[in-house]
Amino acid sequence: MSMPAGMTILVVAAALIYFGVAQRMLDKMRLTDTQALLFIGLMVAGSFITVPILSGRTNIGLNVGGTLVPLGIVIYLLVTADSAYERIRASIAAVVTAAIIFGIAQYTDFDPSSGAIIDPLWLFSIVAGIVGYLAGRSRRAAFIAGVLGILLTDVVHAVRARMANMNTTTVLGGAGVFDAMVIAGIIAVALAELVGEARERLTGGPGVPDGLEREGEE
């Protein structure tokens, strides 16, 4: 969009905060600053690449920045998880998140006339954050739940659409770095971080030195 100064500043400020928060949140999952920046760079660059998977009445595609890169991070997190138990918990969190999102999506269309209280973009992210944190009590589980939660519901939709030969277009992660999948992952970690830290601070904490990772703890 061609834009005047006020709008340009608004868009740039929002983008900078978004990328800043994204970098911080990746940072919180045992990724170094460099790795976090690299992943964000890959997501932005990958946003411009969409690979068609199926075409015809049911159009299904896959955006590299919005799907493959966050999925790569999820796999990295699962591989480097402390224990098999943690991996299982994170995976269960992802499935539960997907199930809740799918359930909510069947109930309402979030149209202006539906009276929905909060936009699905934010609601689904919050669901992922709560479930991920409760299931794993960890930022990484929250991220995995957020990303995989949205991805799984998209995949379920794509399969159902294909089977029903439905006239629809689904590009997994199609909005790239601004896709619901990435946003859900980031908000989920932020929520886990804020809630987790506040709770531990209020209850005196688990006795772990300040700033150390607390993933996988009761």
Partner 1 sequence: MMRRVFLLALIITALLFAVGRIVLAERLDGGYYTLVDEDGRSITMTARHLDIGDAYIAADNKRYEVVAISGDEVQVRYTETITLPEVDSSAFRTQVGGTSPSGERVVGIYHTHNDESYVPSSGTESRDDGRGDILQVGRALADAMENLGFTVIWSDNSHLPHDGQAYTRSRRTAMELLEKEPITLIDVHRDATPPEVYETEIEGQPATKVRIVVGRQNQNREANLEYAKRIKAVADEEFPGIIEGIFDARGNYNQDLGPRMILLEFGAHTNYLEHAQQAAEFFAKVIPAAAGIEPGQAQAADKEIGAPAGRSVFWILGIAAAVLIVYLVINRQGLGSITSFFRREAGLGGTSDDDPGQENG
Under rule CB under 8 A, residue 111 binds partner 1:
yes
Which window, 71-79, 80-88, 140-148, 205-213, contacts partner 1 (CB under 8 A)? 205-213
Judged by beta carbon, residue 130 or residue 188, the one nearer partner 1 is 130
Under rule CB under 8 A, residue 1 binds partner 1:
yes
What x-and-dash track marks residues 5-34 binding partner 1 by CB under 8 A? xxx-xxx-xx--x---------xxxxxxxx
The order of strands in the sheet holding 50-54 is 50-54, 58-63, 168-172
Under rule CB under 8 A, residue 148 binds partner 1:
no
Count, residues in the chain = 218
Q: According to CB under 8 A, which one of 64, 130, 147, 151 is a site residue for partner 1?
A: 130
User: Residue 146, Cα to own-chain centre: how many angstroms?
Assistant: 4
Helical spans, DSSP H, in 47-138:
69-79, 84-107, 120-136
Q: How far is the CB of 166 from partner 1 (least distance, A)?
A: 6
Asked if 113 and 96 count as a contact pair (C-beta separation under 8 A), the reply is no
Q: How far is the CB of 78 from partner 1 (least distance, A)?
A: 18
d(CA 134, CA 17): 27
